[in-house]
Amino acid sequence: MPKMRKKSDLPVKLCAACGLPFTWRKKWERDWETVRFCSDRCRKAGPKREAEAPRATSSSPRAS
Ligand SMILES: [Zn+2]
């Protein structure tokens, strides 16, 4: 039985900036859970203004 690899097997998220779906990429394998934008460009553009209030990320010790 052939193993079919679909693109849809990969996780997909909606970009918080442009709203388009983007697919898991190798470079995000470590922080896929925190990825919110499809590209650096969108990351710089930032999320659209919506009801979502910015929360302090839960316990991420990145001080100093
Ligand atoms: Zn985007």
The two tokens of residue 64 are 């100093």
In terms of DSSP H, where are the helices of 1-64? 40-45
The reply to whether 22 falls in a domain is yes
Rounded distance from Cα 21 to ligand 1 centre (Å): 8
Supply the pTM of this predicted model.
0.59
| Domain with 17 in it | 10-45
Q: Whole-angstrom Cα distance, residue 64 to residue 53? A: 25
Q: Whole-angstrom Cα distance, residue 34 to residue 62? A: 15
Q: How many CA atoms lie within 13 A of 7 on its CB side?
A: 5
The reply to whether 51 falls in a domain is no
The reply to whether 60 falls in a domain is no
Is residue 2 very low, low, confident or very high in pLDDT (cuts 50, 70, 90)? confident
The reply to whether 64 falls in a domain is no
Give the CA angle between residues 27, 2, 7 to the nearest 5°: 30
Q: What's the average model confidence in pLDDT over 30-46?
A: 94
Rounded distance from Cα 28 to ligand 1 centre (Å): 15
Rounded distance from Cα 3 to ligand 1 centre (Å): 31
Rounded distance from Cα 1 to ligand 1 centre (Å): 37
Instruction: Say yes or no to pLDDT of 4 above 70.
Output: yes
Is residue 5 very low, low, confident or very high in pLDDT (cuts 50, 70, 90)? low
How many folded domains does the chain comprise? 1
Q: Which residue has the tokens 């100093």?
A: 64
Rounded distance from Cα 38 to ligand 1 centre (Å): 4
The 10s digit of each residue's pLDDT in 45-63 is 988 765 556 666 566 666 6
The reply to whether 39 falls in a domain is yes
The reply to whether 52 falls in a domain is no
